[in-house]
Structure formats: structure tokens, C-alpha cells
Amino acid sequence: MVSSGFITSNQFYGVENQKFIHDMNKAIYPDINLYHDDFFWAMNSFAVQRKFNPAIVNADTIYLQKKAAPFIARIIYLLSQVPKNDIMLVANIVLDHPYKGHKKRDINCFLEFLAKEKKWKDCADKWEFHKECYFYQGNSKVSKAEMCSYIFFKK
């Protein structure tokens, strides 16, 4: 995003919970704002300090649909408290993980799980989203995990 000119390096804020990956990325991209922390708690910390003004949030989870739903619901609820509109959330979810014996299920399972979450119910009226998702392979050429992205827009 920085190299394409979409944003400047000081506009990028990233969170990595694995210390080795955090340190490696920080060495490669010293000008970006990169934090070693839990994704949700890093955002929450900035929100509490009133230093949280996101335009695009990319929540790149490692969770299958059922576990992703409460995680994404918490993020959506937090973003709902930000006193601005025009926020886009990209929720990346593991759809199928063949090594764990999971078979691809109905892609709308995530939306069904999300609909049951109280945090989502408390703020769903502030959001629009596409029921379709974008499918892609995992993060490597040999990955057999299938991923999908749902996009949410704060009204």
C-alpha cells in the first residue's frame, strides 16, 4: 500500500503478535508504525487514548468461521464506538483447513455465526456488508488452506 502510493508510511499501523515476525518486518520497514501486541488489544489501547482514527482495518485472522465470528464481532463493536463513519473493515477468515480435517462448508456459515453474536447485534445497524466473500488460497504457494474475505462498511 505504501509502495503503490495509496498511503504514506506514517499512515500505516500494523500489529503482529509473533515477536520474530514483528522484529523482521520492523527491520525491513523501519518507517511504518508496527506494534508487537494482540490485534484487538492494540486497537483498543489506541481507542482508549483517543488516538484511534482508522479508515481501513484489515483483520487477518487465523480462525475458522465459528471462532472468527466473535473475534470479528468484537472488532466491529470497537469500530462502532469510533466517532466517525467511512471505516472499512476487511475480515479475512479461514474457510477450509484440510490438515485439521475441516471440509469446506457453506460460505455463509460465518455470517450465520456472526448474526448470533451480541456485540454484532448491538451495532449491526451501523454497518453495511456484502454477503459475498472473496476466496483465495492461504499465504504460500503450497498452502492448502482456503481463505475468504468479507468487507464491512460503517455507515
Residue 107: the pLDDT is: 67
C-alpha dist (Å) from residue 19 to 16, 24, 92 = 7, 9, 21
User: Which amino acid is residue 39, in one-letter code?
Assistant: F
- Interval 41-79: pLDDT, tens: 999 999 999 889 999 999 999 898 999 999 999 999 999
Contacting residues for 126 by C-beta, under 8 A, at least 6 apart: 80, 154, 155
- Entry pTM: 0.88
Amino acid in position 69: A
From residue 17, alpha-carbon distances to 37, 97, 141, 146 in Å are 5, 21, 23, 22
pLDDT at 106: 63
Q: Is residue 19 predicted with pLDDT exceeding 60?
A: yes
- Asked if residue 135 lies in contact with residue 147, where contact means CB atoms within 8 angstroms, the answer is yes
CB count within 10 Å of CB 116 equals: 11
